[in-house]
Amino acid sequence: MGMTFAQKVLAAKAGLESVAVGQIVEVEPDFCMSHDNTAAIAKKFAKIGVDRVKNPERFVIVLDHTVPASTEKYALGHKEIRQFVREQGIANFYDMGVGICHQVLPEKGFALPGALILGSDSHTTTYGAFGAFSAGVGRSEMAVLYATSKIWLKTPATFKIIVTGHLEEPITSKDLILKIIGDIGADGALYRSIEFTGRAIEEMSLSSRMVLSNMAIECGAKNGYIAPDKRTFAFLEGRAVRKYTPVYPDPDARYEKVLKFDATRLDPQVAKPHTVDNVSPIGEVAGTKIDQALIGTCTNGRLEDLRLAGKILSGNKVADGVRLLILPASQEVLLGALKEGLIKIFVEAGALVLSPGCGPCLGAHQGVLAPGEVCLSTANRNFKGRMGSAEAEIYLASPATVAASAITGTISDPRRFL
Amino acid sequence: MSIGTIWRYGDDINTDVIFPGKYTYQPLTPEEMAGHAMEDLDPSFAGQVKEGDVIVAGENFGCGSSREQAATCLKAAGIAAVVAKSFSRIFFRNAINNGLPVIELSEGIEAMKKGNTLSVDFEEGVVAYEGHEYHFPALPNEVIAIIEDGGLISHVRKELGKG
Ligand code: SF4
């Protein structure tokens, strides 16, 4: 019987002919990622009693969550991490400013087809857009990976999500994934591997695909795979840190469920407070007043997102009483936006351009919300209290919807602007 | 066998409300972490929770971020077990890796009320509540070994012969 992508990768990594759904395998990931939480992981690693990180070349560390440090405690954490990577000879270290981990790993060529990548961050699923098997783990597990390079994983069952049709600007893959999560629910694919396929996916840029894999975790999925194709290979040209072998599911693989969506004529979608699956088409929430708008994060902070926002914001002004924050996902994105004149458009519109990093996405700094405030964001989570006050409300939408709404001051349909 | 008072919550309880992100990158002691447990969901929790209490919840408990403090803050607060219809996979792993027992129960959850007591027999795989007994599947051997060793770090220490 044929195997799914998840079965094939896990079997290959475990050195087995085949693995069954539910089977527990011991594997060695190709790459492991951790970010500002490396300070805490290093302390757990020290408790294990092993002096040296095994295979330091497999670890990638990115400072992005609380950069630049806004408190002494954060600064101390960063300092400890710099010392740890020096002592352990971890060469793949990207200090603050390079970008958000989930953008940096693909840009620096670690997100490779067929690779097994684990990260101590739930949105590690992002690299599935490149045909990798990637999933989040906890800090203790990362500490053990430092010590042993090994971990156990359970082979998940797989949902195949087929997306037919065609996305028409300004509708984006963000609207599509919000629609999918709204339909199947926050636990709709709990513990499952998702394979996204179909014409609409094939047509997508890598940046758009990353949005789907990034948010696969928001319906509970372990990973979100998209078959690598010529667009993937072109992206990796000159970036890939090593040779790779793409892995594709067998044509006769067994899926637990096959779900179908049509991208054509999709309305802009908005996730309402306080869960990601609380999704409505824009018509139902249009007119809701906002205090802050955020365009960026690892979900929608790439050049194509900023281009779309720039198109809408060009020649317009941010509404009185609204703060628009622009958060490029990486230095590479920031440089691209500078070159294309987008940063000028944003600043002239009255936006605040932040340095590449996670910014206010996790509520630690740089634009947190006061009680009673409403934020419309391109991020992936709108949980209560996530961006500051538990009394604030977060709505999620595409960069086009956020840009349009920043101009009007209320949640607005971007189709009016293009 | 362990008996505890129930804290009852619904579906999709996410890690941001269990342990807010603003504390995630601060080094806190277990007591400080316990003080923030459930802060954005149930402000009464941290002040009133007692050693041995249990959390009973619906589907997808612990969804969202991979932060391990969501599990460790509950353990530090004295929670003896979390019983839910289902768990997010990262929370499930984090809980086990930190010695917090997590029990997936397919029936009986609806009837369980806040403030009542519940008993759990881990060896027999039985949850008892108001005269009813509900069975849960035994955990895989790999997982039991980790819990028995008091969490993943000490388990691996032992495996590597570091005591
Ligand atoms: S941008 Fe937000 S979701 Fe992405 S890694 Fe940073 S904190 Fe997490």
Which residues of chain B does A151 touch, with a Cβ-Cβ cutoff of 8 Å? none
Q: What is the pLDDT of residue B104?
A: 92
| Residue B144, pLDDT score | 81
Indicate the pTM of the whole model. Answer: 0.94
Name the minimum distance, in Å, from the CA of A386 to any CA of chain B.
6
Chain B residues whose beta carbon lies within 8 Å of the beta carbon of residue A385: 16-17, 20-21, 39-40
Chain B residues within 8 A of A73 when measuring between CB atoms: 25-27
Compute the distance from residue A144 Cα to the ligand 1 centre, in Å: 23
Output the DSSP codes for A344-362: HHHHHHT-EEPPSS-GGGG
Tell me the pLDDT tens digit for each residue of A340-388.
999 999 999 999 999 999 999 999 999 999 999 999 999 999 999 999 9
Q: What is the distance in A from the centroid of ligand 1 to the CA of A32?
A: 17
Instruction: Name the residue facing A137 among B14, B24, B90 (closest C-beta).
Output: B90
Best probe of the A interface among B13, B59, B68, B155, by most A CBs < 10 A, is B68
**Can you list the residues of chain B whose pLDDT is less than 70?**
163
For residue A308, the CA-to-ligand 1 centroid distance in Å is: 21
Kindly list the residues from chain B whose CB atom is less than 8 angstroms away from the CB atom of residue A77: 25, 27
Neighboring chain B residues of A148 at a CB cutoff of 8 Å: 156, 160
Contact A27, A13 (CB under 8 A): yes
**Torsion angle of the four alpha carbons A115, A118, A124, A129, in this order, in degrees rounded to the nearest 10:** 10
CB-based contacts of A71, cutoff 8 Å, min separation 6: B26
Residue among A77, A137, A384 minimizing CB distance to B25: A77
pLDDT at A3: 98
State the best of A23, A358, A383, A384 to mutate against chain B, taking most chain B CBs within 10 Å.
A383
> Contact A144/B152, CB-based, under 8 Å?
yes
Residue B161 sits at the chain A interface (C-beta within 8 Å)? no
B153 close to A (CB below 8 A): yes
> Residue with the nearest Cα to atom 6 of ligand 1?
A358
Q: Output DSSP code: residue A102.
A: H
The protein residue whose alpha carbon is closest to atom 4 in ligand 1 is: A298
- Please say whether the beta carbons of A270 and A411 come within 8 A: yes
Task: Tell me what pLDDT residue B133 has.
Answer: 96
Q: How far is the CA of A358 from the centre of ligand 1 (A)?
A: 5
Question: What's residue B147's pLDDT?
Answer: 81
Residue A348 contacts residue A326 (beta carbons within 8 Å): no
Measured at the alpha carbon of residue A29, what is the angle toward residues A23 and A33, in degrees to the nearest 5? 125
Partnered with residue B133 across adjacent β-strands are: B128
Q: What is the pLDDT of residue A418?
A: 85
Pairwise CB contact (< 8 Å): B21 & A363: yes
Q: How far apart are CA B105 and CA A10, in angstroms?
A: 28
**Res B117: pLDDT:** 97
Quick one: pLDDT at residue A64? 98
Task: Give per-residue pLDDT as tens, A245-287.
Answer: 999 999 999 999 999 999 999 999 999 999 999 999 999 999 9
Q: What is the mean pLDDT of chain A?
A: 97
Tokens 């793949």 correspond to what residue? Answer: A92
Q: Which residue has the higher pLDDT, A96 or B147?
A: A96
Three-state secondary-structure class, residue A258: strand
* DSSP sequence for A141-208: HHHHHHHHS-EEEEPPPEEEEEEES---TT--HHHHHHHHHHHH-TTTTTT-EEEEESHHHHTS-HHH
Atom of ligand 1 nearest to the CA of A35: 5
- Of A101, A186, A104, which Cα lies nearest the Cα of A142? A101
pLDDT at B140: 76
Q: Specify the pairing of strand A193-197 against strand A158-164.
A: parallel
What pLDDT, on a 0 to 100 scale, did the predictor assign at position A85?
98
In a 3-state reduction of DSSP, which class is residue A337? helix
User: Of ligand 1's atoms, which has the minimum distance to the CA of residue A296?
Assistant: 1
